[in-house]
Amino acid sequence: MAFSPNGTTLVSGDDSVVLWDVESQRRLDTLQGHEARVQAAAFSPDGTTLASGGDNTVVLWDVAKKSQRAILKGHKSRVQAVAFSPDGTILASGADDNTVILWNVAKKKRLAALKGHADWVQAVAFSPDGTTLASGSSDNTAVLWDIASRKQLATLKGHTDYVLSGSFSPDGTMIASGSGDNNVILWDVAKQKQLATLEGHTGNVTSVAFSPDGALLASGSSDNNVILWDVASRKRLTTLKGHTDWVQAVSFSPDGTMLASGAEDGMVLLWRSFSK
């Protein structure tokens, strides 16, 4: 789940890629192209391209034309996560083949395969400056990769179960990781050390997202809830209840005034009444 860069469109995934108009809260289009359930989707920074992953492929979509631009084949099993670099030139995809693939978006070709995890790659996220990629895995670790050299910078160990989600803070100084151990860990990127463990969920933390100003962190869980955390104090602000099944994705709007959450109950909820 993700907002378009201008905040007018929201993308979610089920058996297809679904585009929603945020203002009217109506479905705009349904994009068919995957042979299995859509696991991840992301807009390019300029909003013209959408990437989705589901089976063992990544599909690039022309947002204006609602048509496929390319099908990227390289993974050997289900794609679980996709993310564009801040300049939009590189796409990262993580899959159940334990691998992260970097793609050249313009040429629609594979740049490199990053191998270092011992189990499924469940999450990928670029740093705001585009120099670093974080990947989370079912091997209970998060790995930091140097984009230029394609080499591992560090392996972050602290979770006791699958790392299911990850997000850089807007200033790039922190990473939040969500896990099957029901916790969120905040990491210091420069020191590659754990800053804090946020405890509050009673189920797997399947998704995490920082607000655009970095003041808030949202986490979604298999306990059907979304928790909003104050990043500075590391304290829980509120629990958003409305879903009746696993919350699989959370995303803040670009202006930070809305939070979207998607769940296994088939609902996409927009939250507006929250504050720091």
Is 181 a member of any domain?
yes
Is 20 a member of any domain?
no
Is 16 a member of any domain?
no
What is the pTM assigned to this prediction? Answer: 0.96
* Residues paired with 255 in a beta bridge: none
Residue 205 has pLDDT above 90, yes or no: yes
Is 107 a member of any domain?
yes
Is 14 a member of any domain?
no
Give the integer Cα–Cα distance in Å for 196 and 223.
Answer: 21
Read off the pLDDT band of 274 (50, 70, 90).
Answer: low
Read off the pLDDT band of 3 (50, 70, 90).
Answer: very high
Residue-wise pLDDT for 11-29, tens only, equals 998 888 999 999 999 999 9
Mean pLDDT value across residues 129-155: 98
Residue 244 has pLDDT above 90, yes or no: yes
The CATH number for 112's domain is 2.130.10.10
DSSP 113-156: EEE--SS-EEEEEE-TTSSEEEEEETTSEEEEEETTTTEEEEEE
* Number of structural domains in the chain: 1
Tokens 């946020």 sit on residue: 198
Q: Give the structural domain span for 128.
A: 44-50+74-271
Amino acid letter, 244: T
How confident is the model at residue 273, as a pLDDT?
A: 62
Give the integer Cα–Cα distance in Å for 121 and 100.
Answer: 7
Task: Provide the percentage of residues in the chain whose pLDDT is more than 90.
Answer: 93
Is 19 a member of any domain?
no
Give the integer Cα–Cα distance in Å for 199 and 187.
Answer: 15
How confident is the model at residue 265, as a pLDDT?
A: 93
Residue 276 has pLDDT above 50, yes or no: no
Is 32 a member of any domain?
no
Residue 31 has a CB neighbour count (10 Å cut-off) of 21
Residue-wise pLDDT for 64-119, tens only, equals 999 999 999 999 999 999 999 999 999 999 999 999 999 999 999 999 999 999 99
Is 78 a member of any domain?
yes
How confident is the model at residue 35, as a pLDDT?
A: 79
Give the integer Cα–Cα distance in Å for 66 and 19.
Answer: 10
DSSP 194-210: EEEEEE--SS-EEEEEE
How many angstroms separate the first and last alpha carbons of the chain?
Answer: 23
Taking CA atoms, 85 is separated from 11, 97, 134, in Å, by: 18, 22, 12
Mean pLDDT value across residues 254-266: 95
Residue-wise pLDDT for 108-135, tens only, equals 999 999 999 999 999 999 999 999 999 9
Q: Which helix (H) or strand (E) holds 152?
A: strand 151-157
Task: Provide the mean pLDDT of the chain.
Answer: 96
Instruction: Specify whether the CB–CB gap between 235 and 229 falls below 8 A.
Output: yes
Residue-wise pLDDT for 158-198, tens only, equals 999 999 999 999 999 999 999 999 999 999 999 999 999 99
